Every structure is written in C-alpha cells, then in structure tokens.
Amino acid sequence: MIDSLPNTFQIPTRAQIVSQYKADYLSRNPGTPGAPTDTSIGSLVDIDANVMADTLAPIYYNASLVGNAAALDNMTTQQIAAELQNLGTAFLPATGASGEVYVSCSAGGTFIAAGQQLTNLATGLRYQCNASALYQNGQPLPVAGIDTGPQSNILATTPPTVLTWTSAPIGCNPSAAIVPQTDGTGLSGGSAAETNAHAVARIRSLRANPPASGNDSQYQALIVDTPDVAVQAAFTYPAIVGPGTTAVCFTLVPSTPGASRIPNGAQILAAQNWLAGQVPANDVPLFATLVASPVTVVLGVTWAPGAPGWADAAPYPLYQYMGAVPVVAVPATGPITPTFFALANATGTVLPPQVGQSIALYNAEAALFVRKRIASVVQDSFGSWAVTVDTTTSTSDQTYAPTVGQRFCPWSDSLNSIVGPVVNYFATLGPGEMKTGPTDAGQRGMRRPPNPQAWPSALTNRMLGVSSQQAVQGAVTLFTLPTLSDVVMQEPTVPYSPPVGIPGVAAYLLTLGDLLVFPEAYI
C-alpha cells in the first residue's frame, strides 16, 4: 500500500543483485533436461553476477543519496548547505552573548570606540563594545562576545558581575558592571553553530514563503540572518498601526534547555541596524519587545511499571490540598536557605509535613527538580511550619534555595524525566498577538507566521504529545516517556494564551514559570 511505504529511498543489497542476476539468466537460459545451467559459486554466471553487483553498487548508492535528499530530513550537511546557498543564506555561525554594561567614567563622559575589548576575569572570555559614542557615567553600553558559545552567557547576579577593560578608555574606570535584564539574564544569546534540524526548519519556511519585496517572509529571513545574534525565529505584524508599518520581534535560540529566549536591548538594536536599508525605503519597521508571561504547569501522572515511583508511601502534599497548603515562606527565626525554610499554613486545615517525607521543588534556572528530605518540622510564631532539611546523607539537595510563595510537590526519582519534554515544548512557542482580532479579511495586524500553524502562542494539550506531527517527527514527548503510563494536564486550563500585547510596542511570550507533578489517582 502507498501509505505503508518506507520513508527512505530503498536500494537492493549486493547479494540481492547477484541473486536477481542469476534468476534472470536462468529464465533466459535454463539449460537442457538433465543438464541445467550452472550458477554455482565460481561458475561463469556467478562471476558475471558479481561483476554486475560491483558495477551497480555505486550507481545505486548515488541514487539513494539523491532520492533521500528529496526529503529534507535525510539531507547530508553538505546538501543542506547547498540548499541554503540556493536560497540566499547559509548555516548560521556560533554567536557570543550580548547585552549591556554600565559605563563607569568621570564627569563629562568618555568616548568609547566600537571594538574596544573587555574580559570576564573569572572565565577569560572576551567581549567588545558594539557602538562608538560619547558615553556618560552610568549609561548602558552595548557589548557582544568575541568568544562564542553558551559559555559566554552571564546571568544577572547581586552584586552584578563585572567585566574588565583590556585597555580602559580615557576617563573610564577599569571595570564595568553588567546590566541585569528583566528576565534574570545579563549577557545572553551565546549559542553554538546552527544545527541541521534548525537549518532544515528555515529551509522549509523559506520554500513555503519566499522572501521578496518587503513581504513578511523577507523581514523574517533578514532578522534570522542578523550577524552575532542567535535568532531562533522572527515574527511580523503587518500594518500594525497603519499602512506601511510592520512590527517585528524575534526569539533567541536557547543556549541551554529552559534558558531565556527573550532578546535584550542590545540584540534588538543589532537586528534593527541590520535590517535598516534592506527593506523598502517607504516601510516603517517597528521593533517590539518580548515580555515574558510565566505560567505554572501542573501535571497528574501515573508512573509506568518498573519506573521509580513516589519516594513516600504517603506522598506529601496531595494536589487537593494545594488550594490551602503550603507554599514556601520566610521562617520566623531566620532567612530562607537551601536547608532551612518555612511552609505557609494558610488556612490551618492541612496537616503538617512529617519528618522523613521528601518534597520536590523545581529549580527553573537549572531546569531541574531538587529533593528536600525533611529532618524536622516546628510550627513557628507566624503559624508556618519551619522545616529543616536532612543533610546527613546525599539524599537532599543542599544548593537550591526556594523562593517565597513557591509551590512544591511530592518527590519521585522519575520526576526529572518529565522536565525535558516540557521545557522543549515551551521552546516551540511563539509570541502572542498585539491586537484582539483581525481587522479585515487579510488579517492586517495579526502575527505572521500565523497562529497556530507555526510557532503557536498558546499552551495546549500538544505538550503531552497527542499531536500526530510530533509522532511523525519522533519527538520525545510526555506520552513517549518510558517512565509514564499516563499523564494529564491539571493546570492551566487549556488552551491558555498569553495576554494581548501593545500594537507596535510589545508582545507577550509564554514561559515556564514553575512545574509541579502529583499522583494522578488523587487529582
């Protein structure tokens, strides 16, 4: 049947060629009764068959390369590079992190030229100024990594990380503090070179929507090609505030699973400068910012036979308690630490945790569940339960400090198998709309590529892996995990969309804020 054909170009093996040659020979010259034609090993027919197999093998091999290349997923790296070249682009190189540092200089300011270098003394990685200008004290200065890759990213910290000038500009202090971004990053966007899978996705997009004459596809293709910025996908909103106007925003390739995909001001400026002069002169591109819209995902699961189950016979807390229970709070007798914190007993109707029970907290920065085994529970003067974590064995995490108001769930050694598919799903989401609905049949002002055909903006049950397309692509989804027998999404109610943005100014992007997993039987 045509629908059961293999997904690769099929060629015969050498042995099959030899066998087929002999069968064809015998059909034409079967010999005489009592003296059949000799096709045994070493016979003339056998020698001819093997020569034929040697001749045809490279021809079949070349045919298989051509046939498989008809499907993009089977292309070799060289074939993908050739196709990209035919489309006017190329593999995107590795990029360095970019962002801003605060200029620290004397009154009156100082001139800093593009290309002047700074170094992170802790790692030895180098960065450089991106824009020549007269900078005043405290003014942000755009910088980008000379050294590339995810290792060039720097998180926002308190106190802030500083970079040191290789040769400080006249009037400048020797160091400059990194400007923290609203999503918790400092310098971000450092990424490895483009993968074959990402390049294939770009080729499909370019084939489906050829860029030309300032159309949406041209804007998107140009933004993706922005030098020194690891753009994952670009989005346009045509005629967003009137004829000739196009809002543009983009996401970054996540440097690590769960990392921020929201570009900072320096990266947006780089894309804006790159786009200038490459689109029709009477167009008015408006570069919008992406705003994170964090969402808490709550799953109910049934672990598969053989997979590690819940650590405790009576898992704590159960989901039905979560309207009243326990979120992390500040203890009455000291600050929150990785091994000491309180659980707020909001209504007094929930039983306290017990010594020996294990709870799980999601560390969003590391995209990892951590285990805290309870060593002691004391009700403090705030009415909360002050919890001390067991540090006598390696069972408990002793590095992650939970945040005030953070929810938690029971611990299972299978929990972290769930993180990858959820994080990867969020990395496939695009920004939401800037308007509440289409203004005409052409949907001017609505996002391109359109929702939800590509880069859907809403959270849906597709995260679980019910999409037939995910099955075709062999994606690792929750439903394909060997640790799970079943999974349901309890929160949020789907479809769950981000807020509507501000036309030409901002668009919202759903991000994974927190992740909790509970026994499905008790939900």
pLDDT digits (tens, 9 = 90+) for 87-121: 888 999 999 999 999 999 998 899 999 999 999 99
Question: What percentage of the chain has pLDDT greater than the value 70?
Answer: 91
The Cα angle at residue 409 between residues 307 and 360, in degrees rounded to 5: 75
Mean pLDDT of the chain: 87
**Lowest-pLDDT range, 6-15, 234-243, 358-367, 408-417?**
6-15
Q: Which amino acid is at 375?
A: A
CA dist., res. 146 & res. 124, Å (int)? 11
The alpha-helical segments, DSSP class H, found in 70-131 are: 77-86
CA dist., res. 22 & res. 95, Å (int)? 58
Sheet strands (E) in 108-244: 110-112, 117-120, 125-129, 133-135, 140-145, 154-155, 162-165, 175-177, 185-187, 231-238
Q: What is the DSSP string of 27-42?
A: HH--EETTEEPP-STT
Q: Where are the domains of the chain?
A: 2-70, 98-187, 209-294+419-522, 310-411
CA dist., res. 46 & res. 23, Å (int)? 11
Inter-helix orientation angle 14-28/44-69, to 10°: 130
pLDDT at residue 3 in the model: 43
Q: Could you identify the residue written with the tokens 């059949």?
A: 36
Residue 41 pLDDT greater than 60, yes or no: yes
CA dist., res. 430 & res. 66, Å (int)? 34
Residue 133 pLDDT greater than 70, yes or no: yes
pLDDT in tens, 163-203: 999 999 999 999 999 999 877 789 999 999 988 888 888 88
Q: What is the pTM of this model?
A: 0.78
CA dist., res. 90 & res. 84, Å (int)? 5
pLDDT at residue 348 in the model: 60
Determine whether domain 98-187 maps to CATH 2.40.30: yes
Interacting residues of 460 by C-beta distance below 8 A, sequence separation 6+: 452, 494, 495, 496
Who has greater pLDDT, 27 or 373?
373
The Cα angle at residue 491 between residues 487 and 493, in degrees rounded to 5: 105
Which among 256-265, 414-423, 443-452 has the top mean pLDDT? 414-423
pLDDT in tens, 225-269: 999 999 999 999 999 998 889 999 999 998 888 889 999 999 999
HSE-CB for 460 with a 13 A CA cutoff:
13
